[in-house]
Amino acid sequence: MPLEGEYEPSPTKWVREQVELYESSDGAKGTTIRGMPVVLVTNRGARSGKIRKTPLMRVEHEGSYALVASNGGAVKHPVWYHNLIASPVVELRDGPKVRDMRARLVTGEERRTWWDRAVDAFPDYAGYQRKAEREIPVFVVEPLD
């Protein structure tokens, strides 16, 4: 695995608990939120270098995934957005499957295609975009090999 280092759990209790349940059950439990599927993205802190684990909605298409930096519609990007720009290699857990992948920010037509898939998977993204006062960034993650 290319991502090694000291793990620093999320300061947000419900997020930390979702990560713990997801991982401790090897992807059998904690894999949804409000009935919709979630993936776990392990990333490296851009300043601390520590390992971070971020649950995100599962937006999958032909083995690639979109990661939507919605941050609940907040005006600021989530911190993990900056982590992925600095260190794009991530580990993505989808249920029991874990893969090393590389993230890239998508723009234009490619972003629009993935955005539509994201809203199909999690309709709340549309409302988050309306209130965010920023274009919500979308990464596509693809297998390293």
Stretch that binds ligand F42, among 64-72, 89-97, 98-106, 107-115 (CB under 6 A): 64-72
Q: Which of 31, 42, 65, 69 binds ligand F42 (CB under 6 A)?
A: 69
Q: Judge whether 56 and 67 are in contact, CB under 8 Å.
A: yes
Residues 28-47: x/- map of binding to ligand F42 (CB under 6 A)?
A: -----x----x------xxx
Residues 77-116 that bind ligand F42 (CB under 6 A): 78-80, 82-83
Amino acid at 33: I
Stretch that binds ligand F42, among 6-14, 87-95, 103-111, 137-145 (CB under 6 A): 6-14
φ, ψ of residue 9 to 5 degrees: the values are -65, 155
How far CA 70 is from CA of 20, 37, 81, 97, 98, in Å, comes to 22, 16, 10, 24, 23
